Structure formats: C-alpha cells, structure tokens
Amino acid sequence: MPSKRTSVSHSTPAQLGANSWGELRRRSSDIPWVLTGGFLGTLARYFLGFLGEPLWVLVAINSVGCLLLGMIFALRRSDRLTASGYALWGTGVMGSFTTFSGVMVLLVAPSAGVLTWLVVLASIALGIALAWLGQRLVGRGTS
C-alpha cells in the first residue's frame, strides 16, 4: 500500500475540471493501483455472490461499500490517505466491489415485484446514511 504523502490535490476524477488532461497524465502512475484494487474488489464481489439470495447479497455489498467508501473519502480529504491510496482503495477496490448496474438488472427482471423496489429504495437510503457515517467515523479525529 502506498504510504508516501504527495502534494497531489484532493480531487477525485469526478471533481476534475475542464483542464483535466494534465491532471490525468500526472496521475497515470496510479493506474497500477486502480488495476490492483479492481482485481481485489472484483474477487471479493464474485465470492460473496455465492452466499445467498442475489438481492440481499447486493444490498449487503453496496451497504458495506458505502460505509467503506465514505471512510476512504474522508481519509483522503483529511490527507491521511495518499492519492495513490485513494486510487487503490476508493476507485479500484470499492469501484469494482459495489455496483449500480446490478441494482438496475434486478429492477427490470420479470420477477421484480414491489418488495424488490422497496428493498432497492431502502438500500439507497441506507447507502447514503452509511456513506455519511463512514465520513463521520473517520472525521472524529480531524479538525
């Protein structure tokens, strides 16, 4: 895991502005971290998928992912995680571990009923709450 602090800005790819090509070129050294994290997150997601009913496994994976990503984001924002660390854990691991497309597939499946819709809506609310909680848990020790 990268531990060296850098002077790289706190921006995530979604926050990059119109002049993002220079920033992307500068961060190309993070690609191996994203790939490694993607591999690890994908493996975890794949094996956890065997543990139960797809809808409930998906809710559990996305809920845990929201909590962890909230914590990872807060660590990055407070400078306790490097840009490379965020690339590994945030973009790589959490990006491949959680899913939005899996939720959509469940919603359009012929077997999707009212319960499926209610669970998905509840999991969105839960995800928001857990992402907030993750940031607060990490943020306790910061000014």
Token pair for residue 103? 């939720």
Question: What is the amino acid identity at position 22?
Answer: G
Binding-site residue ranges: 95, 98
Q: What gap in Å lies between CA 47 and CA 26, rounded to an integer?
A: 35
- Contact between 58 and 106 (Cβ < 8 Å): yes
Q: What gap in Å lies between CA 71 and CA 94, rounded to an integer?
A: 11
Token pair for residue 113? 């009923």
- Output phi, psi for 84, to 5 deg: -65, -35
User: CB neighbours of 72 closer than 8 A, spacing ≥ 6?
Assistant: 81, 86, 89, 90, 94, 134
Binding-site residue ranges for Na(+): 95, 98
